[in-house]
A and B are shown apart, each in its own frame.
Chain A
């Protein structure tokens, strides 16, 4: 067992080494190829040649949109969990705040009857999620990790229950006729319509790229160093003069803002938002995806978020012994996670530092015994 695993590991490390030692232009070319691949992916003319990759039980383009939203969420949560080391169990709550903000401001079924255009509601949604992140973080981030986990969990449930039961948020009936993003083709047809999910996917993909560039720049700056130091040893970070509370709050707010953006995109695509969209399970799935991919590593978060969201949909329509695998998707998901945590707790594509921290913590545990 371990030999196979070791082989996989050394193989992966070799790939990693090659990547880091490859000339700059090779890396750029590869990156461009990967990006081009993902832009091309939702086109039938392209994906029909990809063998088992397209999902049999669901519209592949729709699936790719869902996957892209999960990737965006994973990138955002990775800032909170991966970089700053804060355990956020209710991340999907911010997604809900973003989606509901857009719904309330734009839908004709909203009591506000504001009926804003979608684009105008997006910055408000992002700002509001950020504010809710700051409000949630201010009292809790001064406390130690477990409190934060509990409070965030409670927050997500509160949002969901509020959505189910409050008259203002319309419960199961939800908000309909949420407007789409703007834009028309030359022939007057809207770019973002009802039938074709591709434009939405491309929009999210583009935003993911922009967000990743932003996050990367941030992590290579003083802010990133502060986050990593907090994650590795909060007391030591403080002793080196890092204003830990401020930076934790920033990480929390930045993560929330990205979830808000994702929620706004989701609302603009679905055109309908109700309380069923925000089950607690979603928060757990995204957290698991980030850890699965390799928390603390942007590529890891992207791969984790993408793979998890994709695999869940991939199970649709596959029958084994007369049962649809989709019914058991969370069983598989749980199983994979457990195996992963045993053999590779630092995730699929770990962060070099993260791996060392895990070793360090294990050492600490054995020393303490």
Chain B
């Protein structure tokens, strides 16, 4: 197991956002996490990346207990998150943003190689490399957030709604890119509103409801599950 979350609870003040969540991600997988607004998907991501401490439970990554490890040290272990929404650095150019993604690395040659790779995956970013992040369109910012996370060359890439706010064409494209990233060897844990697309591409998936995992299975299984269909796929 690359990532193993066991019975994790998380509190925001007195509000309990996660009630004993357990999930696993195996090396090489794409795992999707779906659920309604406010179900706790982003919270789960925050717990994994470490910007929010967990109240109880444990998180293991790559054979090591990281439950109490600082967020920046988790990045060094190979865990990197592209945050939800506008999580890029607005005053930095596209290149500077990508450079920040490689902050923990010192292997210049490897960084240059990954930069080429990211700009290859996102030609739009290549065109706008000297533009400030804050002036990019919403979709371009989304791509930048994903590309920046890739620059850390993570073992596990955490993506929080990478398709948010994108036009249908671009949604298709970003999912294709995610599959491509995965085929190039990066494990992906993906949070998505776009359940249809996510389930179609994921090896496995979990359904989150008010801070609890209520269902799990392969992507195909959930895609054809009547309850999931009704609740998340907009099919009666």
Contacts and interface: CB of A to CB of B under 8 A. Distances in A.
A364 B90 CA distance: 11
B146 to A, nearest CB: 12
Contact of A356 (B70, B76, B91, B148): B91
Interface in A229-265: 229, 232-233, 235-244
A352 interface: yes
B88 interface: yes
B170 interface: no
A225 B100 contact: yes
Given A239-B49, A241-B152, A242-B103, A353 B92 contact: yes
Interface string A214-236: 00000000100110110011011
A359 B88 contact: no
B76 to A, nearest CB: 6
Interface string B127-157: 0000011110000000000001100100000
Nearest to B99: A225
A228 B51 CA distance: 19
Contacts, number: 90
Chain B residues touching A, range: 20 to 34
A233 B87 contact: yes
A241 B87 contact: no
A247 B120 CA distance: 33
A238 B51 contact: yes
Chain A residues touching B, range: 20 to 34
A222 B106 CA distance: 11
A356 B97 CA distance: 14
Given A236-B88, A353-B92, A241 B72 contact: yes
Interface in B29-78: 49-51, 70-73, 75-76
A301 B228 CA distance: 58
Nearest to B91: A353
Contacts of A269: none
Contact of A239 (B73, B81, B86): B81
Contacts of B80: 239-241
A360 B90 contact: yes
B90 A356 contact: yes
Interface of B: 49-51, 70-73, 75-76, 80-81, 83, 86-92, 96, 99-101, 103-104, 132-135, 148-149, 152
